[in-house]
């Protein structure tokens, strides 16, 4: 039944994150000369591209791009995609392709934000509540929990 295709299947194209592709210098700012003659994408095409994305921006951005499709897919289907991306991150961590590794980190957090949207969780609020005052265990900025404990 699902002729409804996934909006951001894992791909080498920068469909998922056009705003944070390496072409605008977000990921590899320090590695790309500012005078990089990057193809035909003129400066006007990247003027609106984000240089930074807060967790709030990210979740809103994902919401704007994909929410209807994400809701139609649901939490379980979306979770499967997150797990696939986690697997790809695992593979990338074992390799030596830094650009691909950065992309996989981006994919994982994007899919996490996607699930948060579907589950109606405010990621920023959740992070602030749990980690905004330091370590959740000892409440210090430099954790002093015993090594036997998780955080
Ligand atoms: Zn701690």
Residues with CB under 5 A from ligand 1 (ion): 135, 137-138, 143, 145, 151
Distance from C-alpha of 92 to C-alpha of 104, rounded to nearest angstrom: 7
pLDDT at 49: 78
CATH number for the segment(s) 18-37+51-120:
1.10.287.1080
- With 0.85 as the threshold, say if the pTM is over it: no
CA of 136 to the centre of ligand 1 (A): 6
Token pair of 147 as six digits: 């090594």
> Does the pLDDT at position 66 exceed 50?
yes
Could you tell me the distance, in angstroms and rounded to a whole number, from the CA of residue 145 to the centre of ligand 1? Answer: 4
CA angle 143, 27, 41 (to 5 degrees): 165
Domain ranges of the chain: 18-37+51-120
Residue 146 burial by Cβ neighbours in a 10 Å radius (0-12, 13-18, 19+): exposed
- pLDDT tens digits, one per residue of 40-55: 444 444 556 778 899 9
91-141 residue pLDDT tens: 999 999 999 999 999 999 999 999 999 999 999 999 999 999 999 999 999
- For residue 64, how far is its CA from the centre of ligand 1 (angstroms)? 36
Q: 141 C-alpha to center of ligand 1: Å?
A: 8
Report how far ligand 1's centroid is from the alpha carbon of 138 (Å): 4
For 27-64, b where at least 16 C-beta lie within 10 A, e where not — what string? Answer: beeeeeeeeeeeeeeeeeebeeebeebebeebbbbbbe
The top-scoring range by mean pLDDT among 5-9, 27-31, 43-47, 49-53 is 49-53
């Amino acid at each position: 039944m699902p002729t409804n295709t996934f909006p951001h299947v894992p791909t080498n194209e920068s469909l998922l994150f056009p705003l944070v592709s390496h072409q605008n210098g977000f990921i590899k700012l320090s590695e790309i000369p500012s005078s990089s003659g990057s193809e035909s994408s003129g400066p006007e095409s990247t003027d609106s591209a984000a240089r930074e994305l807060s967790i709030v921006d990210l979740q809103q951005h994902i919401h704007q791009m994909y929410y209807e499709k994400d809701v139609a897919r649901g939490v379980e289907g979306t979770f499967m995609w997150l797990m696939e991306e986690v697997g790809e991150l695992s593979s990338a961590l074992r390799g030596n392709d830094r650009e691909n590794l950065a992309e996989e980190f981006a994919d994982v957090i994007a899919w996490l934000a996607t699930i948060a949207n579907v589950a109606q969780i405010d990621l920023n609020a959740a992070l602030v509540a749990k980690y905004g005052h330091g370590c959740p265990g000892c409440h210090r900025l430099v954790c002093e929990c015993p090594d036997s404990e998780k955080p």
